Amino acid sequence: MSTTDDMTCPDCHARVGDLAAHEKWHTRLVADVAKAVNQALERR
Ligand SMILES: [Zn+2]
């Protein structure tokens, strides 16, 4: 068995070297989508 510094994201299964930074990116992505949905709802 070999070990690497890379970790796998539990959410999207991408291999990431910096899981903390990757999770931050996920949080931002989800927030952006929620904002876009809210704006679309308020538009009508
Ligand atoms: Zn991910």
Cα 39 to ligand 1 centre (Å): 25
**Sequence ranges of the domains in the chain:** 7-43
Looking up tokens 């989508």 gives 33
Distance from the CA of 14 to the center of ligand 1, in angstroms? 6
Please tell me whether residue 12 adopts helix, strand or coil conformation.
coil
What's the pLDDT at 44?
Answer: 77
pLDDT of residue 2: 57
Contacts of 19 (CB under 8 A, 6+ apart): 7, 9
Q: Reduced to 3 states, what is the DSSP secondary structure of residue 44?
A: coil
How far apart CA 8 and CA 2 sit, in angstroms, is: 15
- What is the structure's pLDDT at 26? 92
- CA 34–ligand 1 middle distance (angstroms): 17
Regarding pTM above 0.75, the answer is no
Give the model's pLDDT for residue 6. 83
Put residue 7 in one of left, alpha, beta given phi > 0 → left and psi -120 to 50 → alpha. Answer: beta
CA 7 – ligand 1 centroid, Å: 10
Which residues in the chain come in under a pLDDT of 50? none
